[in-house]
Structure 1
Amino acid sequence: MPYVVDFENVSTVGLESSPVADALAGLRANEARYFRNKYQHVFTVEPAADAHDAVDRVTRILSEERGIVIASPALEATDFEVEGIRWTYVFYESGLSINVLWTVADAGKRAVGFKLSDGMDVPAELSAFKFARQRSKLAGTIRGSFFVIKGQY
């Protein structure tokens, strides 16, 4: 069942099995606030079991682009388009959030972003990446990295 993420009253709904559930909920709320403020888009997620296409798309891109296989199970995902940009988000039990964005126009941006919840270690499969730090009132310290997608998906 879809869940509208509330960034004013942060909740761990759907993320309870994560060892960093509070921080992951803050990270998810931080993303919801970004999309509400920038695009007036309501950020809605659903259980990963109900969002096979979104999870499979992220898994395929990571595998084909960089040979990355995420060890942690996916908890929630969402897939939507705003202002000509297609976004796919997957939130993992470990506290990892992965987003894939690509502009609908042929020659546009295509990238994968990683965000680590406050308190989680860098997963071994992402150890080759350097992570920048960002402070968030909702999520504490967020560490993030990205890579540009070369292929067409």
Structure 2
Amino acid sequence: MAYVVDFKNVSTVGLESSPVADALAGLRANEARYFKNKYDHDFTVVPADEAKDSIDWVNRILAAEKDLVIESPPLEVSAFKVENIRWTYVFYQSGLSINVMYTEDDPKKRAVGFKLSDGMEVPAELDSRFKFARQKSKLAGTIRGSYFVIKQEW
């Protein structure tokens, strides 16, 4: 069932099984606020089992571009298009959030972003491969993030 993320009243709905559910909910709300403010888009998530195609797409990109497999189970997905950008977010039980930003008309503006919820360790599969910058958020505490540029067509 789809859930529109409320960034004013942060809820752990759908994320309860995460050991960092509160921080992950804050991270999800932080993304919802960004899309509402920048694009007037309501950030909506669905349970992972309702978004297999989106998860498979993200997994194919991770595997082909960086030989990367995420060990944590996915909990929720948000997939949408604003302007000419296809966005796909996957929120994982560990507290990890992965987003794919895929512009339709500019191959130089395509990337995969990783965000770590406050209080979680860097997942082993990302630990030695990425450097994470810190960002403060009123909704999510300290967010650590990294990214890579997508080279292939997807």
Provide the TM-score with structure 1 as the length reference.
0.98
The RMSD of aligned alpha carbons is 0.7
Are 1:74 and 1:92, in contact at CA under 8 Å, matched by a contact in 2?
A: yes
1:44 pairs with 2:25: no
1:139 Cα deviation from its structure 2 partner: 0.1
| 1:101 alignment partner in structure 2 | 101
Q: 1:3-152, aligned counterparts within 5 Å?
A: 3-127=3-127, 128-152=129-153
Find runs of 4+ consecutive structure 1 residues off by over 2 angstroms: none
User: Which amino acid is 1:125 matched to?
Assistant: E
* Structure 2, gaps ≥5 residues long: none
* Distance of 1:107 and 1:99 partners within structure 2: 16
CA offsets, 1:114-147, max 9 Å, x none? 0000000000100110000000000000000000
* Distance of 1:22 and 1:106 partners within structure 2: 36
Q: Percent identity?
A: 74
1:31 Cα deviation from its structure 2 partner: 0.1
Provide the TM-score with structure 2 as the length reference.
0.98
1:107 Cα deviation from its structure 2 partner: 3.5
Are 1:23 and 1:117, in contact at CA under 8 Å, matched by a contact in 2?
A: yes
CA offsets, 1:80-135, max 9 Å, x none? 00011110000000000000011111534110000000000000100110000000
Are 1:102 and 1:108, in contact at CA under 8 Å, matched by a contact in 2?
A: no
